[in-house]
Chain A
Amino acid sequence: MSNVPQIDPAYHHPARLQIAAMLARVDEVEFATLRDIIEVSDSVLSKHLSALSDAGYVKLKKAKSEGRQRTWASFTRDGRNGFAKHMAALRELAEMAEQAVAAE
């Protein structure tokens, strides 16, 4: 069995990791706010949100507000747990890198 920390492929893409980082800090966030914070285009955000939704990690909800249809995103339980494990794996990998540098 390998000792290499297991990262979650669903969060491998930088934009998806940033989406997850944002969702981990809030209960729910509207599409435009998420787009402004992680600084990606509408189409890129839409594509990655759909991928995370298809993976069962993100719940998307449409709601009308001020006469416009808006999309709201939130983590599912699997998404939140998967992100916590992914972050733990990233921290473990980073610590390994720091230990390797210190050992040189």
Chain B
Amino acid sequence: MDQNDAMKALDSVRETDRALERRARWPLWRHAAFGALEALLLLAWGVPLAAMAACIVIALGGLWWIVADDRRRYGMFVSGYSSRAALPATWLALAIVLSGLVALVLTGGPNQWTPYVLPVVGTVFVGCTLASIWWEKLYRAELRQGGVQ
């Protein structure tokens, strides 16, 4: 392979990235579903033990459904860790959930319902939904610009 072949090969990789970028769009409800699952996982720590188990089962079932729906609807699955450029959004979502967990523990302890539970869970829902939307923007920008693979 000579240098010109290398440049042509890099162009074809960029073209593949752009073709994927044109498809890589997720609707608002999909971002909100991610936010709701994260919020539900957090809610599990702010409710009595029996309700905690129900929250975790529903959240894990929801997670399975999202993956299955992505595969069926888009013919592919892209996790939060698939894109190096979009990792800051993944870390942000994780930080939001952990901050919410710390807030729940500090304001009432695990498995204790307090007036703070719903505001904290609501904040995590909005924060994780926005982080998911940001993730898509970073992912698509990486594909558009042909970020290093």
Contact = CB atoms under 8 A, between A and B. Distances in A.
What is the interface of chain A mostly: helix, strand, loop, or mixed?
helix
A99 B83 CA distance: 30
Contacts, number: 89
B76 A94 contact: no
B10 A90 contact: yes
B12 interface: yes
Interface residues of B, number: 30
What is the interface of chain B mostly: helix, strand, loop, or mixed?
helix
Contact of A28 (B19, B72, B76): B76
A12 interface: yes
A52 to B, nearest CB: 15
A89 B2 CA distance: 11
Interface of B: 1-7, 9-10, 12-13, 15-17, 19-20, 23, 71-72, 74-79, 82-83, 143, 148-149
